[in-house]
Amino acid sequence: MAKKLYVGGLPYATTEDQLKDLFAQAGTVESGIIIMDKMTGRSKGFGFVEMSSDEEASKAIEMFDKKEYEGRTLTVNEARPMEPRPKRDFNGGNRY
C-alpha cells in the first residue's frame, strides 16, 4: 500500500518533477506534489510524495530527513491526515 510523506524545507524553485526524481532514489514514487500559494502562485516550500510501499517510504525518510538539498535542510516524515480547519469569518463576526 502506498504511503504519503511530508517533505518540508524545499527550495522554492523546486519543481514537482525534481521532487519525484529525488525520491525515486529511494524507490517507486506514486505521486509528488508541491503546495503552491493561492494568491501568488509561488511554492510554499513544502510538498508531499507518495511512495509505493512502507519499506520505500521508510528508506526515503532515512535517506532525506535532515539532509541538505540545494542549500536547504529537508524535513521528511510520514504525512498526517489533514485536520479540519474552522471556517473563517470575514465579516468581523457580524452576520446580517
Q: Is residue 31 part of a domain?
A: yes
71 part of a folded domain: no
- Please report whether residue 30 resides in a domain: yes
pLDDT of residue 89 exceeding 90: no
- Write out pLDDT tens, residues 11-22: 999 999 999 999
Tell me whether residue 10 is in a domain: yes
Asked, for residue 96, whether it belongs to a domain, the answer is: no
DSSP state of 48: E
Query: For the chain, how many structural domains are there in total?
Result: 1
62 falls within a domain: no
**Predicted pLDDT of residue 87:** 77
- What phi, psi does 21 have (nearest 5°)? -60, -40
Cβ(6)–Cβ(70) below 8 Å? no
Cα angle for residues 30, 32, 38 (degrees, 5° grid):
145
Q: What is the pLDDT of residues 25-82, one digit of tens each?
A: 999 999 999 999 999 999 999 999 999 999 999 999 999 999 999 999 999 999 988 7
Domain encompassing residue 15: 1-37
Other Cβ atoms less than 10 A from the Cβ of 60: the count is: 23
The verdict on residue 58 lying in a domain is no
